Structure 1
Amino acid sequence: MATGRTSSVTPVAGVVGNAGCWPELGWRPDAALRMFGMRRSGNHAVANWLQRNAPHGQALFFNNCKSGRGPLAHHQGVERNAVQLARHDTRDLAGLGATLEAGGLLLISYEDTVPSDFGLERPVSGDLDETLLSDDILLLRGFLNWSASLLKKLQRNPDFTVAYRSASVLRAIDSYRKMLELVAQADDLALTVIDYDVWIHDAEYRSALLDRLGLPCVDNTLGKVQRYGGGSSFDTPEAGADFDLRTDQRWQRMSGDAEYQAILHIAARDTALLAALSRHYPDDAKKLASLADQTPIEAGGLR
């Protein structure tokens, strides 16, 4: 985790972060944020929102960085001011930094990376000088809608077998549980937690988060659908369409799916997951726990 920084829990209102000059870029942003979130947790919607509220209207976003490596060289794409850059425009980092004036936002994101799995011997961002970071963000989403969205996304790929899909979701659930457990240490680790379920419905919550992160409130809307990951797992709106507000209904739409039911029955027997959910998403915990008392296959069901 980032060290040597003021905790994001008690920021000074209206004051941007303490990011320094990033040597590879030759650029000094006002704020440098690192964001962790499981896939299908609203990562790109939140990243787009942060960019739209960048100081001085300029932002540089390094998407889906590779854990354990330097993020500026190991990522899945770069955006400047919320516009994706061609790969050849991102190879020369010094040249890229020269296109930016002093000030602005540098945003680094990780997907399916649990920061607590890393440490001093193997830092999550490789040899990055973490004192350059202003804040770390932990992005969360309720378990039932998140798991339904993840499975539905995997089901849309015809090359994935049932066994592969189920194994992928179950591994992700273990990482998801670790993410939830980190919330209890948010104050000590200088983590700013963003609950996607609240973020999507509460403009005041979004505004308070911007203030907490030291960013100006320029555009506090949800923005448009992002094209990363094919957009919504359930619907296929084109990039630029209005944001889908039905993200809190995903599990209901998957409730009759046998594959989803099987995964939930397994997850319901994970006591550590249920304990973490009880602290942060008690309604999900209650629904999931009710499955633990049910027998997935009745006696004599296999013949």
Structure 2
Amino acid sequence: MPVPAEWQALGLTPGLSLRVFGMRRSGNHAILSWLQRNAPGGRSVFLNNCKPGTDPLRNSRGIEINGAHASQNKAKRNLSAVTQEAGDGALFLVSYEDTSPAEFDVSRQPSGIFDEALFSHNVLIYRSFLNWSASLLKKIQGNPGFTLVRRNGIVLRTMDSYIRLLGLVRKAKESGLVAICYDRWVRSSDYRAERLQQLGLTAHDNSLGAVQSYGGGSSFQKQASSAAELETDKRWQQMRCDAEYQALLHLAARDRALLDELDGLFPEDAAFLRAVAKTQPLPRGESL
């Protein structure tokens, strides 16, 4: 059987190929690092943050070989010269941020001309709404060049994609997708082991690993080096007195589509938002 053109361009034939989707600040890179640490023989090729709708072999924003950063410039000139160290049978990982298959249709595929059938699994990474939105806003607030309006415009647009991602998560089993909940992934080694088995990987390192440098690391705990140190389940409490976050929650609490998705996946978040919706964001009866 002839070797597919995609694998010829990649410079190897993977043993397993995974295409991963997730909103930023959803634990994407923690999970991607974990997948690489559990690659067959520790051998992997990871194409980071690929441009949606295009061939990932030509439009990634970073590359790692066997878990270590490689030269993006060299890879653009000659990809196979960079990847050959991993060799045939390696794990091939492609990641997309702030998008999901829900944003595409038959006329426009997530990976452009790359043959969809070559991916062993499509993986969806998702996180509870309250902690995800708090982490995203905190991250964007750290950019001094963004005005308040621009910050919140980014958050609201991303939230729109988040809602559609959750819609796919709820139908993952019947759609042949593998969904990984970051909140459960952090809490449970058994959950992590189950997901590795579902993907066809043998557990070699089922720890949470080190804090990843992508995206500037943690927006809340800059000095943390181990992912086990991160209080990822407390982000929304750490932001609850922030006026921008409060305004965001008031908007989210009135989004019926969001509440419908959260009812099935994060009912406690949905209940909290419904309580928020019963309160007035501004005092009543006061004249200007």
Residue 84 of structure 1: aligned partner: 69
- Mark the runs of 5 or more structure 2 residues left unpaired by the alignment: none
Opposite residue 246 of structure 1, the aligned amino acid is: E
Query: Equivalences for 1:135-154 in 2 at 5 Å?
Result: 135-154=121-140
- Coordinate RMSD, CA, aligned: 1.5
Residue 21 of structure 2: aligned partner: 36
- Mark the runs of 5 or more structure 1 residues left unpaired by the alignment: 1-18
Query: Equivalences for 1:243-262 in 2 at 5 Å?
Result: 243=227, 244-262=229-247
Does 2:190 correspond to 1:200? no
Query: Equivalences for 1:98-137 in 2 at 5 Å?
Result: 98-137=84-123
How many corresponding residue pairs? 283
Distance 1:88 1:178 in 2: 34
Work out whether residues 170 and 264 of structure 2, in 8 Å CA contact, stay in contact via their aligned partners in 1. no
Does 2:231 correspond to 1:242? no
Residue 191 of structure 1: aligned partner: 177
Residue 158 of structure 1: aligned partner: 144
Work out whether residues 39 and 91 of structure 2, in 8 Å CA contact, stay in contact via their aligned partners in 1. yes
Distance 2:8 2:83 in 1: 10
1:280 to 261, 265, 272: 265
Higher relative helix content: 2
2:11 to 18, 26, 34: 26
Per-residue CA distance 1:62-99 (angstroms, 9 max, x = gap): 00110000011101100111111122331211222332
Point out which structure has higher relative CO (alpha carbons under 8 A, 6+ apart).
Answer: 1
TM-score for the superposition, normalised by structure 1: 0.90
TM-score for the superposition, normalised by structure 2: 0.95
Moved runs in structure 1, 4+ residues, more than 3 A? none
Distance 2:83 2:15 in 1: 14
Identity %: 48
Per-residue CA distance 1:91-121 (angstroms, 9 max, x = gap): 2112223323221200000000121110111
